[in-house]
Amino acid sequence: MSVTQTAQLMDGRGLAERIVKEAAAKAAEISRRTGAGPCLATVLVGEDPASVAYVRMKRARCARAGIQSRHIGLPAATTTAELIGTLAELSGDPEVHGILLQHPCGPHIDERAAFEAIAPEKDVDGVTMRSFAAMSFALPGFVSCTPGGIVRLLEAYDVGLAGKRAVVVGRSAILGKPVGMLLLAKDATVTYCHSRTADLPAIVREADVVVAAVGRPRLIRGEDIKPGAVVIDAGYNPGNVGDVDFDTARARAGLITPVPGGVGPMTIAVLLAQTVEAAANQLGIGEH
């Protein structure tokens, strides 16, 4: 009788808790030394229920970590120019250390133009072109939060990336593309796949590390996972379903992230950690 392999789960919740605890200690030290606590401004256009819930959750996590939050809710009819004006004002406010524009903002908003209105030193969500360039060239700056969380998970589980074949399924500007750049910086050989990729399963079968970030439930099948591969599921679809067919993939992978409880908690943890880092930089205390 053959024994079915069961992949080790990568615990994003536990690692995120440790990152947030460390960020909270740094936030308290910043407040003690400067009298000004780190402050994250959240900006939301309209009242999309999912976006409202995400912002509420992020503000609650800020409060638990001793990070102040300022919320700016804008009407659904807000124009791109008006949104840019709000973001520029926050960028110039010395009491705000990080800015998060909750997206999507609506089809009438030029999101790229809005993102670029965020000052790079306050781009704690890692969404500007300058932040992407920093990730691509391994320069100082803030990483996109979900890709940054993925890399921290890989590091926590001692996944050696040098020389490994990494396949990223998805090419969004804030997830797929930047996570590929971060993996490349770790000396992985990176292949991007997307909706026009021919024979996706054949490419996935060659991967030592698979990052699924395309927003299609159970797109990656377990039968296409290389035995012992590391599977990072960054998808989140209705019904708590990821982009990977978890049950079948777990039978072949070596390490795998669950949905929920894998990548999701890491995203918010990195956001909080980068907000604290931004505050330290802006308040002139550097390493503390």
CA gap 174, 84 in Å, rounded: 19
For every residue of 128-189, DSSP letters joined together read SHHHHHHHHTT-SSPPPHHHHHHHHHHHHTT---TT-EEEEE---TTTHHHHHHHHHHTT-E
Measure Cα distances from 160 to 124, 169, 175, 230 in Å. 27, 20, 21, 11
Catalytic residue among 68, 102, 274, 282: 102
Angle at the Cα of 202 from the Cα atoms of 199 and 206, rounded to 5 degrees:
145
Catalytic residue among 125, 224, 233, 245: 125
Active site residue 125: yes
Catalytic residue among 58, 122, 177, 226: 58
CA gap 215, 171 in Å, rounded: 11
Active site members: 58, 102, 125
